[in-house]
Structure formats: C-alpha cells, structure tokens
C-alpha cells in the first residue's frame, strides 16, 4: 500500500467504505465522510444520498480542526465546554474550519506519527466517531479520537 508514513488514496477509500458499511449495519442517518492527509488536504470524500449538503463541511471541519489543534475532536469538545469564549473566537479566526464535536479522528502509525484525519458527520457525534474508528482500524492504522 505504499509508504507506511503516508496515508494514501487506497487507504482513504477503504476507510470511507468501511465507515459507511459500519453506518449501514446500524441503520444510521446518511453521512458525509472525508479523509485528510497530515497537511489537511483532502484525499477522498463521500456524501451519502440523503445527507444534508452541510454534512461535508461539518465532517471536514471536524477532521481539519483535529489536525490543526493536534488532538481528536472529542478532546476539542471537552476543551470547548471548559473555555467557550476561546472556542468561539477560534471559530471566527479559522473561518469555521473547526467543529469541537466527536467525529474528527486523527490517523496515526503504530509509533504515533500523524498521517491525517477522518471526519464524519450525519448522525450523533458518538456514532459518527464510531464509523471513523471502524474505517481506520480496517486499514491497520491507529485511531486517535481524543479523550
């Protein structure tokens, strides 16, 4: 599958496929899923039929925020609840490219190297995150959703 220190297109497509299979097996609402490389650039994305048009933007902001802040979006949600003024300011500074809610999961190698992030939006944040976790596990990489 290529260089083990780079998240590739084949892996990104597999992550999305498995994430959507996971959602279907649980009768989840229609989702948008995106995989970003470590620099925040899109590798692959999908928006299921019936997912609202904004789901893609939310999924991307979950993933981009995780990469930009260096922690999974679950951690960002916790931090935002403790410091809402700062996170409101971040939303403005970052032009909406950070959503502090579970569903933005960092992708790492076994030794912790950041390869990218997966963002999922469409159902509850916890279920969105579960889809990202399933997809990342399917390609043998480590998921870092935050705590």
Distances (CA, A) of 58 to 62, 67, 102, 131: 6, 14, 11, 15
- pLDDT tens figures, 82-129: 999 999 999 889 988 999 999 999 999 999 999 999 999 999 999 999
Give me the pLDDT at residue 2, please.
Answer: 55
Residue 8: both structure tokens together: 């590739």
Residue 4 has pLDDT above 90, yes or no: no
Helix (H, G, I), strand (E, B) or coil at 99: coil
Residue 83: both structure tokens together: 């410091």
Per-chain mean pLDDT for the chain = 95
pLDDT band at 147 (very low <50, low <70, confident <90, very high): confident
Cβ contacts of residue 78 below 8 Å, gap of 6+? 146, 147
Domains along the sequence of the chain with CATH: 9-142 (3.30.450.150)
Rounded to whole angstroms, the Cα distance separating 104 from 145 reads 7
């Amino acid at each position: 599958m290529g260089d083990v220190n780079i998240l590739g297109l084949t892996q990104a497509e597999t992550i999305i496929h498995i994430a959507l299979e996971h959602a279907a097996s649980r009768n989840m609402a229609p989702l948008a899923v995106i995989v970003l490389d470590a620099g925040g650039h899109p590798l692959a994305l999908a928006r299921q039929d019936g997912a609202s048009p904004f789901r893609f933007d939310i999924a991307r902001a979950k993933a981009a925020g995780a990469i930009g802040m260096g922690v999974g979006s679950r951690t960002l949600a916790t931090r935002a609840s403790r410091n809402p003024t700062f996170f409101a300011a971040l939303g403005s500074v970052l032009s909406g490219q950070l959503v502090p809610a579970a569903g933005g999961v960092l992708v790492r190698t076994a030794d912790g190297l950041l390869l990218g992030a997966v963002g999922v939006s469409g159902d509850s944040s916890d279920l969105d995150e579960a889809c990202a976790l399933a997809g990342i596990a399917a390609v043998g990489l480590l998921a870092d959703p935050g705590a």
